[in-house]
Amino acid sequence: MIMTKSKIKNIIFIIIVAVLIIPQTRKPIQVLLQKVVLLVNKPSIESKETSINLTDYNWNLRDGNNTDYNLQQAKGKVILINFWATWCPPCIAEMPSLQKLYNDYSDKVEFLFVTNEALSDITLFLEKKQYTFEVYRPVSNYPAIFDVTSIPRTFLIDKEGNIIIDESGATNWNSNTIRSTMDNLLK
C-alpha cells in the first residue's frame, strides 16, 4: 500500500497530538520547546532613569531549613529574585542557566528563588536536578512591586533598589548580557 503525502501528514499530526496528550510526555516536550524560546528571548534592561525603585524591603521568607529571612537583609546589595514552580515548564527550562549564574555570583549577589510549593516537592525537585541554590517560601505578603501573576518572573535589583530587569517568561540568565550587567552593578 502506497502512502500519500496527505496520509503521512495526518499520521504525523496524530502522533504529535497523542504525545502532547499523554501526561508523561507533555511536560518534557513543553520544557524542550521553552528551551528553544530561551535562544530568542532576551531580557530587557532598564536604565536607572526609567527603572522602578524598590522602597519596601519588608518581606519575610523561609528557606528549606525553616530559617527565616527578611528582604531587609539584602538592602544595599545586588538582588536577583526568581518566582518559579517545579511544575512550570518555562521555569524548568530556565533553571540550568540560573544555576550557572548562581554558581558564579552567589558570593556577590543575593539570590532569592521563591515558590509557594510544599517543601517536600521543592526538595525532591532540587535533588533530582542537582541544583544547589536555596529556595524560599513566602511567610508574609510581598511588597506590592512584586505582584506576580505569571511565572517564571525574575527581577534584578541594583544596590540602590532600582529594578534593572523585570522579566516574565523563560530567559537565558547565563548570557553575556546578563553577566556584564551584573558585573557593572557590582562595581
Q: Is the pLDDT of residue 86 over 90?
A: yes
Helix axis angle for 23-40 and 5-21, nearest 10°, is 100
Q: What is the CATH number of the domain that holds 85?
A: 3.40.30.10
Question: pLDDT tens digits, residue range 103-142?
Answer: 999 999 999 999 999 999 999 999 999 999 999 999 999 9
DSSP 35-95: HHHHHH--PPPPPTTT--B------EEEETTS-EEEGGGGTTS-EEEEE--TT-HHHHHHH
* Mean pLDDT within 53-80: 96
Question: pLDDT tens digits, residue range 15-46?
Answer: 777 766 766 666 776 767 767 666 667 777 77
Count Cβ atoms below 10 Å from residue 70 Cβ, excluding itself: 14
The backbone region for 87, taken as left when phi is positive above 0, alpha when psi lies in -120 to 50, beta otherwise, is alpha
Backbone dihedral angles phi then psi of residue 24, each to the nearest 5 degrees:
-70, -25
User: Which domain does 138 fall in, by range?
Assistant: 1-186
pTM score of the predicted model: 0.82
* Mean pLDDT within 78-105: 96
> Would you say how long the chain is, in residues?
187
Strand partners, 154: 82, 167
Q: Does residue 28 or residue 164 have the better pLDDT?
A: 164
Residue 150, C-alpha cell as written in the block: 505569571
Please give the tally of structural domains in the chain: 1
